[in-house]
A and B are shown apart, each in its own frame.
Chain A
Amino acid sequence: MDNTFPTARKSGLVVQEMPDELLVYDTDNNKAHCLNHTAAFVFKSCDGYRSPTDIAGLYKAESGGKMSEDMVWLAIDQLNENDLLEQQVKSAFAGQSRREVIKKIGFASVVALPVIASLVAPKNAMAATSCACNTPASCGNAPNAGCPSTTNCNAGLCRP
């Protein structure tokens, strides 16, 4: 394994395959990510042995479609940002803005740009869904109050 080649994380991740997407739930930070087809392909191809060039070649071999190396790197950058790789990988786009990169890639490939949409699961089930209080003064009988308790409210958590 070449330490410079990206490796997708396995530990701490719960992965659900969908027809054209991949749903990845990170149990370390309780974030959920939806990877579109392109991002999902790159993620699954990051085994530590493949370079971005190899991954682009693999895509062509498996689907017949064309994925540029820049496209692969764009996906790797997003996987990096979302902590989905075993080790951080240095970006190939240092000095370039995301817009510049996308503009460059957009004209070179018919494959959809890699997209990773993410959301965080609520910290505390009860607090996130039942307490609208930001301060103790908002508790109990205040308009839009959510805390069942009028005496124990702590910055949005329905508990002391």
Chain B
Amino acid sequence: MSNDRRIFDKQFCFESYGVTIRIESNRTDLLGVAEKTVRKALVGNLQPIENQKTGHVLRIGHSRDGKYTFRDGDEPEFSLGKKLKDLVRYLNTLVRFKIAEFAVDRVFVHAGVVGWNGKAIVLPADSYQGKTTLTAELVKNGATYYSDDFAVFDSDGMVHPFARPLSVRYEHLKGISTDVHVESIGGTAGTEPLPVGFVLLTKYRENARWKPKFLSPGEGMIELITQTIPIRYAPEFSLDVLKKVAARARIAKSYRNDAKEFAKKFLEFVDTN
């Protein structure tokens, strides 16, 4: 028989990009932290809804031994330890990816995005490949900030802003990320959807030479698929949208050197190619 006497009767329900989520907690203050976390994670793109049946249920608890617990739907509950920041970080990531995977009428691709001369430059990449660093440098060189996290495509292949604060990792902080608001680096955030003009597949390598190989639309699509969050859940819709993106955009692949040196030259390259 379970010794858990916690009652998870505190709830916050919301809808974001067509995905409905209920967060339950046994503590009011914890629920408040959760609500603040998801609002920040989703850049405010959520609407509270009345307590109702939702597509996803997340249960966040605090146990008598001081540990924070988490449960996603019917999966087993697990402990996140005693540090609230660990819970906050975990919830932030989980909610973003849950929305990204199940969003209705949107395809989320893990990528940095900037606007340049009326079109979007999309930088799909795994984490730790310098995506945010390059995005920030492009913004410092005049591009408009759209996201350092997701390219959010609609059914026409237009990319919408997901302009959260840039999540910058500094070496002196041992790789822990810090929020950097785009205004603090002299940039502005985009507000309107843009067609994609250029997709750059790149990663940092010391002393790398810029030698772009232009990919065919099909080759570009399979590269994009590796960063397409809903590809397993909604393959037909995802591919339909990616096809539209690949048909319009130039897609190139190359290593790059330091982002500060690379950014300006890359924007000049985009202008002439």
Same complex for A and B? Answer yes
Q: Which residues of A contact B (CB under 8 A)?
A: 14, 16, 18-23, 25, 27, 30, 32-36, 117-122, 125-126, 128-132, 140-146, 148-152, 158-160
Q: How many residues of B contact A (CB 8 A)?
A: 44
- Assembled-state Cα–Cα distance A77/B92 (Å): 46
Q: Which residues of B contact A (CB under 8 A)?
A: 78-81, 83, 86, 89-90, 92-94, 97, 100-101, 110, 126-128, 171, 174-176, 216-219, 221-223, 225-232, 235-236, 239-240, 243, 246-247
> A125 with B175: in contact, given A149-B81, A151-B79 (CB under 8 Å)?
no
Interchain pairs with CB closer than 8 A, number:
125
Considering only CB atoms, which chain B residue lies closest to A120 in the complex?
B226
In-complex Cβ contact of B90 among A132, A143, A148 (8 A): A148
- Assembled-state Cα–Cα distance A147/B60 (Å): 18
Q: Chain B contacts of A142 at CB under 8 A?
A: 174-175
> A129 with B235: in contact, given A32-B221, A122-B226, A148-B89 (CB under 8 Å)?
no
Are B222 and A119 touching (Cβ within 8 A)?
yes
| Interface of B: prevailing SS | helix
Distance in Å: Cβ of A78 to nearest Cβ of chain B: 15
Are B127 and A119 touching (Cβ within 8 A)?
no
Considering only CB atoms, which chain B residue lies closest to A127 in the complex?
B97
Are A129 and B218 touching (Cβ within 8 A)?
no
Are B97 and A126 touching (Cβ within 8 A)?
yes
Are B78 and A160 touching (Cβ within 8 A)?
yes
Q: Chain A contacts of B228 at CB under 8 A?
A: 121
A-B contact pairs, 27 of them (CB 8 A): A16-B243, A18-B217, A18-B221, A19-B217, A21-B217, A21-B219, A25-B235, A27-B232, A32-B221, A34-B218, A34-B222, A35-B218, A119-B223, A121-B225, A125-B232, A126-B93, A126-B94, A132-B127, A141-B176, A142-B174, A143-B171, A143-B175, A146-B127, A148-B86, A149-B81, A151-B81, A151-B86
Which residue among A36, A122, A132 has the maximum number of chain B CB atoms within 10 Å of its CB? Answer: A122
